[in-house]
Amino acid sequence: MSGTIAVFGGSFDPPHLGHVFLALYARSVGDVARVIVAPTFQHAFGKPLSDFDQRLALCALAFAPIEGIEVSAIERELGGVSRTLRLVEALAARHPDHTLRLLVGADILLEKARWQHFDEICARAPLLVAGRGGYARPTDAPAVELPAISSSAVRAALASGRDVSGLLPARVLAHIAAHGLYRDGAP
């Protein structure tokens, strides 16, 4: 089977409704047959992350209701520091009959100078960009704008005991509460 696969990498620490909306956007209007959600194993910019298996499980809960979304542990299989080009190459090798697109919010475009081989990534997996609240929308991005939700703000709210029920999928919130995750503010 061929078609387009959207590659959706990120920390997902925790996965929030903005992530879910972006995946839905790709499936709904991006001519995407499938979205592969790939949580970062080790952050390329040295950002501390919660346990990989915990973030993988939260992603599975967040994206479970959406048809055509696959949560993948490929970054753990690749090991070490996560690099987008390496991820794209590995997925291209596993899915040679598919076209790849890299699914991102507009905020990522502000960081492209920090990415290794950004132009090569875009050549192998052209960007599928959605606007994000609080960030300038690129002129070539569609008018859709994702809510201004960030995982770091969600973690801070959880650590201070504030209500985040409007920011997280219900299954993710229930899992976080049941396991006492993010209470101390640490990833």
**Tens digit of pLDDT for each residue in 100-158?**
999 988 777 777 778 889 999 999 999 988 877 676 666 666 667 788 888 999 999 99
Element (H, E) at 133: none
Domain count, the chain: 1
* 92: enclosing H helix or E strand: helix 84-94
What's the predicted TM-score (pTM) here?
0.90
Q: Is residue 76 part of a domain?
A: yes
Closest among 110, 111, 105 to 131, alpha carbons compared:
105
> For a pLDDT cut of 90, what percent of the chain falls above it?
65
* Per-residue pLDDT reduced to its tens digit, 94-113: 999 999 999 988 777 777 77
- The pLDDT of residue 21 is 92
- Give the pLDDT confidence score for residue 113 in this predicted structure: 79
Q: What is the dihedral of CA 139, 143, 144, 147, to 10 degrees?
A: 70
Structural domain includes residue 163: no
pLDDT band at 59 (very low <50, low <70, confident <90, very high): very high
Please check whether residue 45 lies inside any domain of the structure.
yes
Mean pLDDT of 69-75: 96
Radius of gyration in angstroms for the set of CA atoms belonging to the chain, rounded to a whole number: 16
β-strand pairing of 98-105 with 69-71: unpaired
Q: Residue 14 falls within a domain, yes or no?
A: yes
Residue 63 lies in a domain: yes
Give the residue numbers spanning the domain of 13.
Answer: 3-148
Residue 95 CB coordination number (10 Å): 17
pLDDT value at residue 186: 58
Instruction: Indicate the average pLDDT of the chain.
Output: 89
Q: Residues near 184 by Cβ (< 8 Å), separated by ≥ 6? A: 159
What secondary structure letter does DSSP report for 138?
P
State residue 9's pLDDT score.
95
Greatest distance between any 2 Cα atoms in the chain: 47
What angle, 0 to 180 degrees and rounded to 10, lies between the N-to-C axes of helices 52-63 and 17-29?
50
Q: Is residue 91 part of a domain?
A: yes
Give the CATH number of the domain where residue 37 resides: 3.40.50.620
Statement: residue 31 has pLDDT above 70: yes
- Residue 184, in any domain of the structure: no
Sign of the dihedral defined by the CA atoms of residues 177, 179, 182, 183, in that order? positive
Joined tokens for residue 101:
């697109």
| Structural domain includes residue 109 | yes
Is pLDDT at 16 greater than 80 in this prediction? yes
- In this prediction, residue 107 carries a pLDDT of 76
